[in-house]
Amino acid sequence: MRDYTRFYIDGQWVDPAEPRPLEVINPATEESCARISLGGEADVNRAVAAARRAFDSYAQSSREERVELLEACAAVYEKRFADIAAAISEEMGAPKGLAGGSQAFTGLGHLKEAAKVLRDYPFEEAIGEHRVVKEPIGVCGLITPWNWPVNQIACKVAPALAVGCTVVLKPSEVAPLSAWIFSEILDEAGVPPGVYNMVNGDGPGVGTFLAKHPGIDMMSFTGSTRAGTLVAQNAAPSVKRVTQELGGKSPNIILEDADFEKAVASGVEEMYQNTGQSCNAPSRMLVPRARLTEAEDIARRVTEGVVVGDPADDRTQVGPVVSKVQWDKIQGLIERGIEEGATLVCGGPGKPEGLARGYYVRPTVFSAVNNDMTIAREEIFGPVLAMIPYDTEAEAIRIANDTPYGLAAYVQSEDIEHARRVAAQIRAGNIHINNQWGGFAVPFGGYKQSGNGREWGAHGFTDFLEIKAIEGYGT
């Protein structure tokens, strides 16, 4: 069993001010795989003080020094890549192929992209005889989730360090193992003491004190919309900047001129990636009403071919959901879908056959869903797809936008101009035409209750910078 009960503060692994042990559960076995300690106000104060001491000198470091530091972090990360992948699989049940592919790969990608952007990033701009300068905002509190654990850590830490900020990270207490290894990586890479700090804990015990702390200049939060509003409320009295990447209920519009077999099948497969535990998952599939039966048949066939099982098995495509709490929530929403009259195409309540141990969910497809149903409104965060019929393209666009969220949307069409016209009418931060992914340089973030600010690439630098106008600077 891993013993990860210390925190990383001021360049050292330190004991918590008051030990509060917590068992980390492997969702595939329902057994403890590690022990951490939950931090408190005293630990937050210690970490913030270290970050404040480090800020003045680190903010004055050169672009070249920070590029070199990020490249060193990436080099050590590559050396520890297998360790990161194994931790992600263990802490959240990601199948081995996903953990060692997309999940671990994202952390390395963000470090490399930040170094690339930093080399030529314009920190100064001349406006006549005046100068506009972009400077690091200060000490940043970072709160990250369990579903893409190292991705969300790296896409915050990398740009913050790139522009000259210092940070205090609170990773999810549900999946904290990869965060520990990430901290070891930064330590080995030579990040100066106090520039990067990590304190484990829960929302009330650490997150609240970070958001309230007068020594924190900016909060970057990824998680549920409910928790995000609490962070903003706690941060408001000190008027610190708050950026949020929150929930989603993303529409996937299958247009009449799409390659129907390919579009429906890929939409179902995308929904099941990461066991449906992605904020940008295409959880609402909008299908022409006249072809709904055809879509159901495709979705059923794809779902029945999905391999659900042990994350360590090379054949596994869908692992367990992260916890008993999450499993119970998903089961309740599946039951609600049945109660509200949606057509159950496949899957349903309970665990898949032969998987009595572990938090496994049956991949589930509902059809004939009305957009007012609970399963069309609430973020389920599991392998559950809602198929919604539409009669006209205008209706499809209206349904797509009829949600409090606006993180992502998907448009499927063989006619690129047609897809572009529809994409232009969707109120969401990321639109995927024919399931294309933009890479690490393309900004990620949402409209409405999906949050504010943007992460990834050059756009991800913006939230960590202040803008100073120096008037009369001269030419």
pLDDT bucket at 372, cuts 50 / 70 / 90 = very high
* Res 475 pLDDT > 90: no
Q: Measure the CA–CA gap between 361 and 359, rounded to whole angstroms.
A: 7
**Mean per-residue pLDDT, 262-282:** 98
Q: Measure the CA–CA gap between 330 and 221, rounded to whole angstroms.
A: 24
Q: From the CB of residue 179, how many other CB atoms can be counted at a distance below 10 Å?
A: 27
Give the percent of the chain with pLDDT over 70: 100
Residues paired with 286 in a beta bridge = 253, 388
At 377, is the secondary structure helix, strand, or coil? helix
Please tell me the predicted confidence (pLDDT) of residue 152. 98
Tens-place pLDDT, residues 436-461: 999 999 999 999 999 999 999 999 99
Q: Measure the CA–CA gap between 217 and 215, rounded to whole angstroms.
A: 6
Q: Which CATH superfamily is domain 2-246+450-470 in?
A: Aldehyde Dehydrogenase; Chain A, domain 1 (3.40.605.10)
Residue with tokens 């200049």: 217
**Mean per-residue pLDDT, 107-135:** 97
Residue 324 to residues 330, 363, 457, Cα–Cα distance (Å):
10, 17, 35
E strands in 312-438? 343-346, 364-367, 384-390, 408-412, 430-433
Tens-place pLDDT, residues 306-335: 999 999 999 999 999 999 999 999 999 999
Residue 371 to residues 170, 338, 367, 390, 407, Cα–Cα distance (Å):
36, 14, 11, 10, 17
**Mean per-residue pLDDT, 355-372:** 98
State the catalytic residues: 245, 279
* Res 251 pLDDT > 80: yes
Residues paired with 132 in a beta bridge = 125, 469
Please tell me the predicted confidence (pLDDT) of residue 111. 98
Please tell me the predicted confidence (pLDDT) of residue 452. 95
How many alpha carbons lie under 13 Å from residue 356 in its C-beta half-sphere? 0
Q: Which CATH superfamily is domain 251-439 in?
A: Aldehyde Dehydrogenase; Chain A, domain 2 (3.40.309.10)
Q: Is the pTM of this model over 0.85?
A: yes
Domain boundaries, the chain: 2-246+450-470, 251-439
Bridge-based pairing state of the strands 7-9 and 12-14:
antiparallel
Distant-in-sequence, close-in-space partners of 290: CB < 8 Å, separation ≥ 6: none
**Mean per-residue pLDDT, 296-308:** 98
Please tell me the predicted confidence (pLDDT) of residue 167. 99
Please tell me the predicted confidence (pLDDT) of residue 272. 98
Residue 32 to residues 47, 149, 323, Cα–Cα distance (Å):
28, 19, 12
**Mean per-residue pLDDT, 300-304:** 98
* Res 415 pLDDT > 80: yes
| Residues 434-464: b if buried by 16+ CB within 10 A, e if exposed | bbeeeebeebbbbbbbbbbbbbbbbbbbbbb
Q: Which two tokens stand for residue 109?
A: 């990608």
**Mean per-residue pLDDT, 222-237:** 95
Per the prediction, the chain carries an average pLDDT of 97
